[in-house]
Amino acid sequence: MARHALRTHEFKVLLRLLQRDPAVRVGSHRDLRRFLHEVHYLLRTGIPWRDLPRRFGYWNSLFRRYRRWCLAGVWERLAAACAEERAQPCRMHLDTTHVRSHPVSAGARRDQGGQAAQAQGRSRGGFGTKLPVLVDAQGGLLSCCLTPGQAHDRPQAEGLLEGV
C-alpha cells in the first residue's frame, strides 16, 4: 500500500459519513475513493494543484470537485462528523500558526468583503493570517478558524473550546 493511500477502514468511515450528506452525490464507490485519495495526497504532500501526477487525471477536474465541496460546506461537516465519531477527548492541544501574505494580497476589494473576509490583518511583519487549531491527543482535528494576523490568540482559544 502506498504511503499516502487511504486505508479501507478509513474509506468505509468516510463513505458512511458522506452518504448522510445531502450535498454529496456519492455515485461509484471507486470514483469517490479515488477522489478522496487524490485530495489526501495533495494535502499530505502540499504540492500545487497543477503539479499533481498525471495518474490522478486532469488537475482541473479534481480542483473543481474539491471547490464545489468547499462552497457547499462538505469538508466542514465531514470534519465535524469525524470529531463526533471520536470519544470525548481527555486532552486537547491548541496551537496557532501565522501565515504571511504576499504584498499583492493586501489589496482585497471592499465590495467583496475586503481584508476582513480574507482574514487579513496587519502585524509587525506585514499582512498575514493566523490559523488557530484545536486537536485531540491523537492529533485529530476538533476545531479551527481563520483570524487576522494582529488578533490575539486568547479570544480565539475561547471560541474554539466552546464548540467542544
| 33: pLDDT strictly greater than 80 | yes
CA distance linking residue 121 with residue 162, whole number of Å? 24
pTM of the model: 0.58
The average confidence (pLDDT) of the chain is: 77
Domain residue extents for the chain: 8-84, 89-105+113-162
Residue located via cell numbers 474509506: 11
| Closest-CA residue to 127 (of 156, 106, 142) | 106
pLDDT in tens, 110-122: 555 555 555 666 6
Which has more pLDDT, 70 or 120?
A: 70
